[in-house]
Structure 1
Amino acid sequence: MRSIADLSTILNRILDTAADNLRIAKILVQMGLDPNNITYDALFDRLLEIVLANITLANLFALVGAVFLVATLLMQRMVPLRVANMVGCAFFAISGALSESVATFLLYLLLLPVNAVRLGQLLRLVKKARNAMQGDMSMEWLKPFMTERRYRHGDRLFRKGDPATEMFLTVTGKFLVKETGVEFPPGRLMGELGFLTPNNRRTATVECIEDGQVLTITYERLLEIYFQSNQQFGYYILILTSQRLLENNRRLQENISRLESTLAQE
């Protein structure tokens, strides 16, 4: 009971002190004004004096840096966001140096190389995405972002209707789509349709029919690459999925034609 009483006493003291410090009269005294003789002219003149007294080169650099850092909160694309962040950090670092604030100077100085490294990674990713868009639709550029996984004969990669969370790129071995009988040799993409289907569900069952290796990448990582590569990667994925849908449609038409021919012969 005593500890509760002590805590209540401490809280009351904190509230009383806060209320006292936030009294209008005390704030006016701290601003150098007479609480008993306040006029709009006196208040305006005092605020103007405070503003003019703080117009220094260090504060101007800090103001420009703040503008750039606030601008990053309004940006949707990662590359200009990183550039604006670097500019803001540079201005804050200069401000810290001019105001002799070692903590501020070191903090924003250390943030500069961190943002520079991330910017370099983003620019390389954008370049690879653009090259892939203009080239032969190779998935080579995506491999550094993927994880290796091995399967043995008879292993099931995924089943139709299962939740889809990742995409596969075959490296070695062979894989069979059970519903269509299509085999995937090395160098083929699997599981990309689940990225676009409602609720991210698998559209077919795939099994390993020859021991092999695949590379996987999660849909979350794909979305990250999509937003970081200036949305061009989304166009790349749409082309790949469109090709897969066209291939599936062609096979369906061929199966229908064979079935019609068989029925006609009978």
Structure 2
Amino acid sequence: MAWLQGLTWIDAVAWLAAILAISGSAMRTIIPLRCIGIAANATSLTYAVAMRLYPSITVNLILLPLNAVRLYQMLRLIRQVKQAAKSDLSMDWLKPFMTRRKVKTGEILFAKGDSATCMFYTLSGRYRLKELGIELQQGQVVGEMGFLSPENRRTQTLECIEGGEVLNISYDEVRQLYFQNPEFGFYLLRLTSERMFKNMERLEIEVERMKASAVEQDSFRQAATA
């Protein structure tokens, strides 16, 4: 224990920085990793300043704000996803991660049976799911079901009936966001599940309407032949 007696505060800071760096490497999720990284950068920077290690000072001056910004972005993303999951099916929180694309009238964005690689957010224009006959307006997400469908195949055909713009994000990017933070993935699945239930409710209403229409037509034919 004699070495502890000769341990200075600078040495203690250096050991703490080393322990934090090792601990950060053991983190499995991104938020704890960023938190440990910030602490490691701060302690390493303190040691580097005290010892006048200018290369180390430069590195930690860059990494410290970078880790802080990334941590803030991830926490903000989780907060926005939680709000979206509790309120409606809006996916505005995905916009910063999406790419803008112009679409012409008559263009097929994807066809039923195609391999699904991305999902879309409608900014302007009008779009129609041909098989269901459902028209999509601005501010709607479409194509997310292919992310969970067997073999990632499209279940509908999406056609542009009035030119406009869409945002798209690849499933690979969605997976990256998912693996960076499992909580993000949980809320994404929750949003997708809610969309599925909404679609089921819409189909049930349509089936009931068709049944009622068929009954009315039968009654009309019976009255006409009576």
Letter in 2 for 1:118: R
1:134 corresponding residue in structure 2: 86
Structure 1 136/249 Cα, relative in aligned 2: closer, same or farther at 3 Å? Answer: closer
Q: Distance in 2 between matches of 1:154 and 1:136?
A: 30
> Post-superposition shift, 1:225?
3.4
**Could you state the TM-score of these two structures normalised by the residue count of structure 1?**
0.69
Q: Distance in 1 between matches of 2:37 and 2:48?
A: 16
1:191 corresponding residue in structure 2: 143
Letter in 1 for 2:42: A
Cα contact 1:126–1:230 (8 A) shared by 2: no
SS of equivalent residue, structure 2 residue 26: coil
Letter in 2 for 1:92: S
Partner residue of 2:49 out of 97, 102, 110: 97
- Are positions 1:74 and 2:7 aligned together? no
2:128 corresponding residue in structure 1: 176
SS of equivalent residue, structure 1 residue 213: strand
> Post-superposition shift, 1:99?
3.4
Cα contact 1:58–1:96 (8 A) shared by 2: no
1:17 corresponding residue in structure 2: none
> Post-superposition shift, 1:233?
5.2
Letter in 2 for 1:106: T
Partner residue of 2:102 out of 137, 144, 150: 150
Structure 1 residue ranges without an equivalent (≥5):
1-47
2:224 corresponding residue in structure 1: none
Structure 1 229/128 Cα, relative in aligned 2: closer, same or farther at 3 Å? Answer: farther
> Post-superposition shift, 1:124?
2.3
Cα contact 1:192–1:241 (8 A) shared by 2: no
> Post-superposition shift, 1:80?
2.2
2:166 corresponding residue in structure 1: 214
**Could you state the TM-score of these two structures normalised by the residue count of structure 2?**
0.79
Cα contact 1:129–1:233 (8 A) shared by 2: no
Larger radius of gyration between Structure 1 and Structure 2: 1
Q: Distance in 1 between matches of 2:89 and 2:198?
A: 16
SS of equivalent residue, structure 1 residue 231: helix
1:225 corresponding residue in structure 2: 177
Q: Distance in 1 between matches of 2:86 and 2:181?
A: 15
**Aligned 1:28-67 pairs, distance under 5 A:** 55-67=7-19
> Post-superposition shift, 1:86?
0.9
> Post-superposition shift, 1:259?
6.3
Q: Deviations over 1:149-183 (max 9, x none)?
A: 12112111011222212111112222121222222
Q: Distance in 1 between matches of 2:141 and 2:201?
A: 17
- Are positions 1:202 and 2:187 aligned together? no
Q: Distance in 2 between matches of 1:63 and 1:172?
A: 56
SS of equivalent residue, structure 1 residue 103: helix
Structure 2 residue ranges without an equivalent (≥5):
222-226
Identity, % of aligned pairs? 36
Cα contact 1:129–1:229 (8 A) shared by 2: no
> Post-superposition shift, 1:85?
0.2
Q: Distance in 2 between matches of 1:100 and 1:53?
A: 24
1:19 corresponding residue in structure 2: none
Q: How many residues align?
A: 218
1:123 corresponding residue in structure 2: 75
Task: Please report the RMSD computed on the Cα atoms of aligned residues, expressed in angstroms.
Answer: 3.0
1:28 corresponding residue in structure 2: none
Q: Distance in 2 between matches of 1:208 and 1:137?
A: 22
SS of equivalent residue, structure 1 residue 216: strand
